[in-house]
Amino acid sequence: MTDLIELTAADAAARVRAREIEPGELFHAYRERAAANELNAFTWVADGAPEGSPGVDTALGGVPIAVKDLFCTEGVPSQAGSRILEGYRPPYTATVVGKLSAAGAPLLGKTNQDEFAMGSSNENSAFGPVLNPWDRGRVPGGSSGGSAAAVAAGLAPWAIGTDTGGSIRQPASLCGIVGVKPTYGACSRYGMIAFASSLDQAGPLTRNVTDAALLLSQMVGHDPLDSTSLEFPGPIELPRAEDLRGIRLGVPEDLLGGAGIEPGVRSSFEATLALAEGLGAIVEPCRLPHAPHALSAYYLIAPAEASANLARYDGVRYGLRVDGDADLDRMYSHTRAVGFGAEVKRRVMLGTYALSSGYYDAYYGTAQKVRTKIAEDFASAFERFDFVVTPTSPWTAFELGAKTDDPLAMYMNDFCTVPMSLAGIAGISIPSGLSDGLPVGFQLAGPAFSEARLLDAAHALELAIGFDGSVIRR
Amino acid sequence: MLDRAQVLHVARLAKLELDDEEVERMAAELSKVLDHVDRIRELNLDDVPPTSHVVDITSVLREDVPIPCLPREAVLAAAPEPVDGGFGVPSPGASAQ
C-alpha cells in the first residue's frame, strides 16, 4: 500500500496505463487514508469510483482527485465551508471537475476550506480547521487548506483548489507542495461557488511540478458556460527543463521590503536564487512600484465583489432558512446572520461599504485604478524579465489561533500573492526547503498564458532544490 | 472611522442582522482595515483608467439557439420551501412599507 501512495500522480497514471496497477486498487488505497481524516482535510469522501468512470487509457489514468468543497458536484455535498450551504447537493457539476473526470480522474472527496474561500488559515471553515501535517498545532494555510494538507499528507494523489488572492499558492507553500494559479480565464469558473468573480481561478495542488502540468493540461480551455474563459494558446506539455540558461528572474525589492518576511523564509529565498544562478539564470532587482499597494486594493475589490456574489444566499432557492415565519426582510437578515461566519460577515460589510453611495469612487473606483497601475508595473517588468520571483508567503505555517483576533495581520499572508491576482497573470509556488522544520514556498510569476514556460522553469528549480516531502506521508 | 450608526446602515444594506457585540466589534475591525486601505488614496491616479477586465475579451455572445436547462424538480430539490413548482417566500409584511 505504501508503495502505491509513494507514487506521484503522473507515475501512477503511467503505471495504470501500462497495466501494472489497477485503478480500483489505487482508489481504495487513497480512500482508506482520506476517510480516516485525521487532519479534518475532507468534508466528504466517495465510497468508490463512480460507475462508468472512463477507462485505463486516459490522460489521467484513473488517478483519483480531491476537489475543494466550493466546486459544485452533482448529488454530492458542495458547501463551500459554510453553514448557509450545509447539506447542499447541487443539480450540476462544475466544468473543471467534469473535464477532469472525463480525462480519467474520478472524484475521491471534497476538501475543507475557509468559508467561501475567505481566509488564509482554514480557521474560517464552518466544519472546523484543517491541521497542517507538518505540525498539527499549526494551520495549513488557506483558503484551499484541505486540498493542500490532503496532498502533502498523501491522503490524495493530487487536488484542485481555487486562488483569489493566494488561496492555492499560500497553502501549497505552508504544506510543502506545488500550487498553480493559472492566468485569469485559463480555466472555466462555471460551477465554482463565487467569491470575487474578477479574481477567482481554479488550479492544481500537487506533490511536484510534473503532476501540476499534467493536471493543468486537462483543466484549461474555453467553456461556453463561462464567458470570461478563453481558449488556451498551445498545449501544456510535461516540463523537461533541467537548467535556467538565459532565463531572467526579477526580484521586486519594493514589494519584499514591506512584506515583513521572516528571516528563515528570506534565507531560503536567497538560497533558491543562488541555485537559480547556478542553473544559468540571471537574477536582478526589478521594480513593481505599485505592488505594495496591492493588498489595499485587493481588500476593497474582493470584498466588494463578494458582497454582490453572496447576496444570493437569502434562504429562498437553496441552503439554510431561518425565521421562515417572520416577514421576508427579517427572514433574509436572520438567515444570513446565522448562516455566515465572522470573516464572511466582515467582508460582506466591508464590500457593501466600499460600494455604497458616496464612497464608491473613493474606495472601489480608486482600487480599480491601482489595479491598472499594478498590471502596468508587471507589463514593464516582463519587458526585461521572464519571471518575477518572491517568497510565496512571508512566513511558514503559524500556530492555530495565532492570528484570528487580528484580521489585518491575517490579510498580510497575501502580501506577495495578491499583486499577481490583481494583474490576472500566472503564478506557481514550489517548496524551496524547510525553516525550523516547516516548509517554505518560492513563487514564480509570469505573463498571462506563460504557464508552459513557468512550469518548465519551476521544474528545473525543483530538481536543483531536491525538496523531499515524503517524510510526512508515512 | 466607522461609527455605530454607519455600521448599522451598512448592515441594513447587506441584509445582515448584527447583535450589539457584533456592531461594536465590526466598527473597530472595519475601521482598522479602512485605515490601512486608505493609503491608496495618497497615490496620484488622476489620469489612470480603472480596470474593467484583466484580459482582452471582445464579443463573447453565443449563437441564440435554445439549449436544454435543468429539470424544474432538480432545481427545486434544494429549496427550503418549494410551492406549486416555484420558490415559496414569507410575506413581505411590514418590511414592504
Domain boundaries, chain A: 2-245+444-473, 292-366
Cβ–Cβ gap A367/B40 under 8 Å: yes
- Closest residue in A to B74 (Cα) is A91
Residue B22 maps to a domain: yes
- Indicate whether B97 belongs to any domain: no
Note whether A349 contacts B30, CB cutoff 8 Å.
Answer: yes
Test B89 with A366 for CB contact under 8 angstroms.
no
Q: Which of A53, A121, A143, A144 is catalytic?
A: A143
B16 touches chain A (CB under 8 A): yes
Asked whether the beta carbons of residue B55 and residue A448 sit closer than 8 angstroms, the reply is yes
Please give chain A's pLDDT, 474 residues, in tens. 458 999 999 999 999 999 999 999 999 999 999 999 899 999 999 998 887 777 789 999 999 999 999 999 999 999 999 999 999 999 999 999 999 999 999 999 999 999 999 999 999 999 999 999 999 999 999 999 999 999 999 999 999 999 999 999 999 999 999 999 999 999 999 999 999 999 999 999 999 999 999 999 999 999 999 999 999 999 999 999 999 999 999 999 989 998 899 999 999 999 999 999 999 999 999 999 999 999 999 999 999 999 999 999 999 999 999 988 889 999 999 999 999 999 999 999 999 999 998 999 999 999 999 999 999 999 999 999 999 999 999 999 999 999 998 988 999 999 999 999 999 999 999 999 999 999 999 999 999 999 999 999 999 999 999 999 998 887
Is A139 in a helix, a strand, or coil? coil
Whether B7 is covered by a domain: the verdict is yes
Residues of chain B contacting A318 with CB distance shorter than 8 Å: 78-80
Whether A380 is catalytic = no
**φ, ψ for residue A158, nearest 5 deg:** -160, 170
From A210's Cα to the closest Cα of chain B, the distance in A is 27
Instruction: Report if residue B91 sits inside a domain.
Output: no
Tell me, yes or no, whether B67 lies in a domain. Answer: no
For residue A29, give how far its alpha carbon lies from the nearest alpha carbon of chain B (Å): 33
Smallest Cβ–Cβ distance between B95 and the set A184, A328, A367 belongs to: A328
Q: Indicate if A68 belongs to the active site.
A: yes
Q: Which domain holds residue B14?
A: 1-42
The one catalytic residue in A68, A99, A110, A403 is A68
ipTM: 0.94
C-alpha cell belonging to residue A117: 474561500
**Are A320 and B10 in contact (CB < 8 Å)?**
no
Active site residue A167: yes
Q: Indicate the number of domains in chain B.
A: 1
- Beta strands across the sheet bearing A426-435: A42-45, A107-111, A65-68, A159-163, A201-206, A178-181, A426-435, A438-446, A387-391, A248-252, A282-286
Alpha-carbon distance A342 to B2, whole Å?
A: 18
d(CA B55, CA A448): 8
C-alpha cell at A137: 498545532
- CB spacing of A372 vs B60 below 8 angstroms: no
- CATH code for position B29: 1.10.20.60
Q: Look at residue B30 and tell me if it is in a domain.
A: yes
The architecture that CATH gives domain A2-245+444-473 is: Alpha-Beta Complex (3.90)
For residues A50 and A54, give the distance between their C-alpha atoms in angstroms, rounded to a whole number: 10
Asked if B72 reaches chain A (Cβ–Cβ under 8 Å), the answer is: no
